[in-house]
Amino acid sequence: MFGGMPAKKAEHFWPSAKRLLGLLKPEAMGIYAVVALVLVSVVLNVIAPKILGQAMDVIFGGVVGKQLPAGASKDGFVEGLRQQGQDNFADMVSRMELVPGTGINFAKLSVLIAIVLLMYFVANIFLWLQGYVLNRIVMKVIRRLRDDTEKKLNRLPLNYFDTRQRGDVLSRVTNDVDNVQQALQQAFAQLISSLLTVIGIVIMMFIVSWQLALIALIALPLSGVAAGLIGSRSQKLFSAQWKNTGALNGQIEESFSGHDLVRVFGRDADMLERFEERNEALYKASFGAQFVSGMIFPVMQFVSYLSYVGIAVVGGLRVASGSMSLGDATAFIQYSREFTQPLGQMAGMANMLQSGVASSERVFEFLDADEQDSETATE
């Protein structure tokens, strides 16, 4: 068996997903390297908006400071606003970084912008390295999986092929293995990056404003419930899709290999009817799987937009009251958008992941089939 894994039949999503991840165990050090590279990239990406918010404060403070008389003190101006009854405006000005009579501090602004650009550049370098390492890992895993399926073919008894369509067997060792490869290459990498990004952004949101962070987190349970309900339904459809794919391939293989017999006995119409039935079944399963799984992303986007509106309103009120700087509000709004982006990406990867797990289940069923006795094994 592959990688020394115990032989067991994968019948459900989570057991199959767990066994699929188990294929990565021989590449544990590489996986740790991937996680480390993603972590560095995520840290740089989530800190950058905070620094960009500081740049916004420098710009806003310079614009306001230019309107004030030169030589005046910031504290004196704030106190004058309070005496005029403009407490909210006074609180907002007190949080600004400004010098009365001077404009934007372009030297400081340039440094902040340069830091942000450098952070984004380095983050993308680490992200590229992560993709390179992960692709090598996946290629090694799939190569071993293909080797195991080839060895398994030579150890199966003849009655295994007599009781199954050859096209279905071929579909398991070709189409399903290819689909597992695609799921590991794309969905697995995206899930690691998205999960770490969500964790990092949540931490930064609480650092900037715990009140707004709580509003943003309201979307999590709602999105989780929606994804769970839709995902359970789409997983069944993906399983049916790949099962029908194997059946259709078996039908095609029979049509080609038995072409002469079909023509001799006049079974053309029957074979065509069986093909149309299986093709229709595959169409319905494929359409249903893509349609249902495709509902996850728009549902989660709608929930995130509700959260975004709440953040914009409450954040604006906090800036107006002076309890939050404009730069922090700008950074938090960017965090809220970046918070929903990885959630949406994970939702978008859900259909690919479910499809890959469904294919892995079919491959594992093939690898777990009973073998010939060693005395009669095919050489």
Question: What was the pLDDT predicted at 240?
Answer: 74
Q: Is residue 91 part of a domain?
A: yes
Question: What was the pLDDT predicted at 299?
Answer: 76
Measured from the Cβ of residue 336, the count of other Cβ atoms closer than 10 Å reads 24
Domain count, the chain: 1
Q: Is residue 373 part of a domain?
A: no
Q: Is residue 141 part of a domain?
A: no
Q: Is residue 151 part of a domain?
A: no
Look at the pTM and tell me if it is higher than 0.75.
Answer: no
Whole-angstrom distance, CA of residue 371 vs CA of residue 354: 29
Q: Is residue 256 part of a domain?
A: yes
If you count them, how many residues does the chain have?
379
Range of the domain at 346: 7-135+158-367
Measured from the Cβ of residue 250, the count of other Cβ atoms closer than 10 Å reads 19
Q: How far is CA 68 from CA 71, 93, 320, in A?
A: 9, 11, 19
Whole-angstrom distance, CA of residue 67 vs CA of residue 54: 20
Mean pLDDT of the chain: 79
Q: Is residue 1 part of a domain?
A: no
Question: What was the pLDDT predicted at 347?
Answer: 67
Q: Is residue 150 part of a domain?
A: no
**How crowded is the C-beta side of 72, counted as CA atoms within 13 Å?**
17
Q: Is residue 52 part of a domain?
A: yes
**How crowded is the C-beta side of 289, counted as CA atoms within 13 Å?**
24
In terms of phi and psi (left: phi > 0; alpha: psi -120 to 50; beta: otherwise), the region of 374 is alpha
- CATH number of the domain at 32, please: 1.20.1560.10
Whole-angstrom distance, CA of residue 371 vs CA of residue 79: 87
Low-confidence ranges of the chain (pLDDT < 50): 1-10, 375, 377-379
CA 95 to chain centre: 38
Question: What was the pLDDT predicted at 41?
Answer: 93
